[in-house]
Amino acid sequence: MKVTIIGSGYVGLVTGACLAEQGNQVFCVDVDPKKIEILNSGGVPIYEPGLKEMIERNRAAGRLEFSTDIAASVAHGEIQFIAVGTPPDEDGSADLQYVVAAARNIGRYMTTAKVIVDKSTVPVGTADKVSAAIAEELTKRSLSPELCSVVSNPEFLKEGAAVEDFMRPDRIVIGTESTPSGLHAKEQMRRLYAPFNRHHERTYYMDVKSAELTKYAANAMLATRISFMNELANLADLVGADIESVRQGIGSDSRIGYGFLYSGTGYGGSCFPKDVSALSKTAIEHGRDLKILDAVEAVNEAQKYILVEKIEKRFGKDLSGMKFALWGLAFKPNTDDMREAPSRVIIQELVKRGADIVAYDPVAMPEAKHCLDADFKGNPEGLKKVAMVANPMEALDACDALVIVTEWKAFRSPDFELFLQKMKRPVIFDGRNLYEPQAMQEMGIEYQGIGRHN
């Protein structure tokens, strides 16, 4: 099938590459010429395991192309995916200007029937706005709005495992209307996703608004589990319990399960923070206050400071003259995404208290440098107190403590003998509970996790 992907960011690139991998002819368009130049020269503007190789393979096979030509992109695809950004607006709601702009471009250039697919994460009611924008453009050209049907097909991709998630999905959600054009769109989507349903049916068909709400509900539930466990971990610290034992005890209940029950320094990234906020905003617009989600956001914001509080309790409020190694900058492993990353808060707070930071991350350091330049704008002296090094052990030289922020696999089994040699003080503040407190104690390492009892 001929498919157009509007937006060559995270969701668009993964969607386009994976659909091309199934033999479809995919045209990816973006208004950013620099991004398209990178893609056409063999680069990939984001880090995602397996994505670069998949893009290279399908470009070589002639199934995947990148362009800034909007008219050509509309002409190409019988199915048009809208996969543009929906950043948070000032009031926390999702900013739909790029979604609506994409819809207008489709309406401006289309001449034959199209299925329009909202792949971006959008609030309930967005499909109506997309339909209205396209209809307005079609009417200007004396064409029937019946030429298009809008589908909601939310993505459920985990950064760091997005290619695997797309190729082997646990569910495919498709929202269509029960009109003739909606039934046609449903059949087109069924054909498109048929290769992903060969072994068993993974597709859930529903109405458009239910599909739109499903995406937000899923992310809100996962964010809630994270904040709930962080609340319990902080309590475990106070009462002398071990949150890891608690996690195993409750996770073994089949009604609860183990997923997203790990305590840490809070969630970040491009999805959970903005989606929880947008869902709360949608509720407010309809006269409803989602109190649980308000608490989830408040807990998560406070959790980003938990390691700073532990460091302050151990060393005092004035950290002048002290140096801290920091392992992990990205908000999670297997990505270079620094959006809402807890590391950004931790670095700024430690520098504010006078500390020097020596940081390492396997892939996120270039993006981190860009983000920290923005975070320390107006404070060049503060920025000078943050250095980045080529390997994790180099970061430890003469440091007063190690702060672990991201749970990269490379940090799970370090050379602790070398650690003891390099550190000024053998102290670890572990924001991801990578190590066992008893084992650290036996090696002579002072260890503080999140809710871990020595």
Put the strands of the sheet holding 386-388 in their side by side order: 386-388, 356-360, 323-327, 401-404, 427-430, 446-448
Annotation says 271 is catalytic: yes
Name 114's bridge partners: 148
Q: Is 413 exposed, middle or buried (0-12, 13-18, 19+ CB in 10 A)?
A: exposed
What sign results for the dihedral spanned by CA atoms 244, 247, 251, 257?
Answer: negative
Helix (H) or strand (E) holding 404: strand 401-404
**Are the C-beta atoms of residues 434 and 265 closer than 8 Å to each other?**
no
Cα(45)–Cα(31) distance, integer angstroms = 14
Residue 4 phi/psi, 5-degree rounding, is -110, 135
Cα(329)–Cα(451) distance, integer angstroms = 22
User: Cβ neighbours of residue 281 under 8 Å, at least 6 residues apart?
Assistant: 91, 92, 93, 94, 123
Cα(424)–Cα(58) distance, integer angstroms = 51
CA torsion, points 263, 424, 349, 46, in degrees to nearest 10?
Answer: -70
Cα(187)–Cα(199) distance, integer angstroms = 19
* Token pair of 160 as six digits: 């760091």
Residue tagged active-site, from 28, 271, 371, 399: 271
Which residues are known to be catalytic?
271
